[in-house]
Amino acid sequence: MGRTAADVETFDVIILGAGINGAGLFRDLCLQGLKCLIVDKADFGSGTSAAPSRLIHGGIKYLETGELGLVAQSTLERNLLLRNAPHCVEPLATFIPAFSLAKGAWAAFRTLLGSTTAPRSRGALLIKIGLALYDLYGARHRVMPRHRFMLRRRALAEMPEITPRIVAGGIYYDARISRPERLVWELVRDGLDACPQARAMNCTTLVDREEGVLRLRAADGGERRVRAATVVNGAGPWIDHVNAALGVAGKLIGGTKGSHILLRHPDLVKSLKGRMIYFEADDGRICLVYDYLGLALVGSTDTKADDPDTVRCEEDEIDYFLASLRSLLPALPFGREQIVYAYSGIRPLPASDASNPGLISRDHSAPVAEPAAGRPFAVISLVGGKWTTFRGFSEEVADTILARLGRDRTASTQMLPIGGGRGFPTDEAARRAWISRRASESGLPAARIAALLARYGTTADAILAHIHSGGDAPLSHVEDYGRAEIDWIARSEMVVHLADIVMRRTTLAIEGKLTEEGLEEIAAVAAEALGWDEARRAQEVAAVAGRLTAVNRVHL
């Protein structure tokens, strides 16, 4: 029998790619009552969105490239995320050292005028001016203090491990995100909750296109035929590939590679005093190091690259990071044996002929390919952008789509909490009260409640209810995690693979908490929850172990 129109489900909008931009747009459109479908070939937030510097920042470095509008938007969105996602976004004091008094001023001026050579030195004068501007742009919905600037003696008193070569330093405030992959999932979940007709599909590929109908194939082999008047390409570094499959020609993406490593280095973490050091390496490139969940996160490289399927942190990048740290913090030892985890991703930046990858704009755009012969739907591509600005980008694109559909915006996301940020206790007294009440109700230790709150925000309430029904037996080989916690994630959060649990719904992998025994134990819980047989369970364990070893430098 031939297929009929009844086999095809119609949506208002189909979004291909469930990274941070796609997920943010999905939530926004669902809140407006649009019937949306979001599809990802892997898991939600598993591509470039899983490989950031884990910062929510206003982009102080964009001041020197003259992207003042981007700085204004980024500082606003940073402040909003501190309010809307307090369960995983928190302030981060940042120390920026200066190694000269006035160098770089002329080069910075030339860059503002359009030079394609970035300043190779940023002296104290330039940094002081930049920090003052940064405070000015961050004034809207301000939630953090203004900067402080100090000369050498006071700066060394603040950060005594830093090289005495500095002549001054400043302390300003940005933010870090502890669980970016989980926040992507929460955006998708919020969208589904806002619109019961909406659908989300992970591990689902676009097989082909027949005029206006897209054929999708899920991991279990099931197929679905869908259509919409508007298709959004949110595939990040894969945008050009997906556009070709949709019948849209052209090159939009010219990505750059960013790599990071995490070190188990208690002395370094202690010396940071909870701050990030945002510093100029010896070759003029910008690097950073800060405390991420008790480890030292070091990044980031910025080199042209365009193959997201094979990207990984290479040996020469590790050499660069370690050499930069030794130069910055000469009293501390650094070596490969301290590496707990490494990761890398391709930034989906706009195609550019800039000679320096650091000068490629981090701004975003959403070009529209109008319907054409054989393709009766418009394609909107989400080009560029960065983690911090996803909400504003999503709002802009959602307004474009609403206008095309003749619809009005009915809900704003500007002050809307995300996922476990709803009702999150934001001061210490409220946090103690939240934990105390639930410890009393559940009989669980306050420390256990506190750990769940830190990991999941107020979503911890649902996990606590699940624990209440089945007990809180701890995992034997994974410190501070329970079987019921993993079971709830597997059953409730659209998990398809073991990697979804250990790399995205939790931070088990990146924190270096996994051993062979622990991975086997988590897989056993997932297998029971998801109905995997022994062959599937073993396959999932082998896949995760293989990736962690080959790509992330994890030694189980």
**pLDDT (tens digit, 9 = 90+) per residue, 149-202?**
999 999 999 999 999 999 999 999 999 999 999 999 999 999 999 999 999 999
Distance CA 234, CA 22 (A): 5
Contacts of 97 (CB under 8 A, 6+ apart): 155, 159, 162, 163, 166, 168, 169, 277, 279, 280, 328
Distance CA 129, CA 112 (A): 14
From residue 169, how far is each of 4, 166, 323, 330, 373 by CA, in Å? Answer: 68, 8, 21, 17, 59
* Count of CB atoms situated within 10 Å of the CB of 547: 14
3-state helix, strand, coil in the chain (%, to 5): 40, 20, 35
Sign of CA dihedral 277, 278, 280, 282: positive
Tens of pLDDT, residue by residue over 55-95, are 999 878 777 767 788 888 898 999 999 999 999 999 999 99
Q: What is the pLDDT of residue 485?
A: 97
Residue 36 structure tokens: 């949306």
126, 119 contact by CB (below 8 A): yes
Distance CA 405, CA 397 (A): 12
Closest CA to 53 of 298, 282, 283, 295: 298
* End-to-end CA, the chain: 52
Residue 549 structure tokens: 């070893």
233, 243 contact by CB (below 8 A): yes
pLDDT, tens digit only, all 556 positions of the chain:
344 555 999 999 999 999 999 999 999 999 999 999 999 999 999 999 999 999 999 878 777 767 788 888 898 999 999 999 999 999 999 999 998 886 655 555 555 555 555 555 667 888 888 888 888 877 777 677 888 999 999 999 999 999 999 999 999 999 999 999 999 999 999 999 999 999 999 999 999 999 899 999 998 899 999 999 999 999 999 999 999 999 999 888 887 899 999 999 999 999 999 999 999 887 778 899 999 999 999 998 888 777 888 899 999 999 999 999 999 999 999 999 999 999 999 988 777 655 555 556 667 789 999 999 999 999 999 998 889 999 999 999 999 999 999 999 999 999 999 999 999 999 999 999 999 999 999 999 999 999 999 999 999 999 999 999 888 999 999 999 999 999 999 999 999 999 999 999 999 999 999 999 999 999 999 999 999 999 999 999 999 999 999 999 998 8
Distance CA 172, CA 275 (A): 10
Beta-bridged to residue 230, according to DSSP, are: 13, 378
Burial label, 293 (beta-carbon count in 10 A; 0-12, 13-18, 19+) = middle
pTM: 0.93
Look at the block and give the residue holding tokens 């034997």.
Answer: 476
Angle at CA of residue 217, ends 215 and 221, nearest 5°: 140
Distance CA 378, CA 42 (A): 24
Closest CA to 80 of 144, 163, 12: 144
Please give the backbone phi and psi of residue 353, each rounded to the nearest 5 degrees, phi first: -105, 15
Q: What is the pLDDT of residue 1?
A: 37
Residue 452 structure tokens: 């769940």
For 517, half-sphere exposure in the C-beta direction (CA atoms, 13 angstrom radius) is 5
> What is the gyration radius of the CA atoms in the chain, in angstroms?
24
Q: What is the pLDDT of residue 2?
A: 41
Q: What is the pLDDT of residue 108?
A: 57
Closest CA to 213 of 451, 14, 507, 511: 14
Burial label, 263 (beta-carbon count in 10 A; 0-12, 13-18, 19+) = buried
3-class SS at 94? strand
Distance CA 98, CA 327 (A): 14
447-484 b/e (C-beta count within 10 Å ≥ 16 → b): ebbbbbbebbbbbbbebbebbeeeebeebebbeebbbb
Tens of pLDDT, residue by residue over 364-395, are 789 999 999 999 999 999 998 889 999 999 99
Distance CA 527, CA 538 (A): 10
Please give the backbone phi and psi of residue 193, each rounded to the nearest 5 degrees, phi first: -70, -30
Sign of CA dihedral 476, 477, 481, 482: negative
Closest CA to 330 of 167, 169, 166, 168: 166
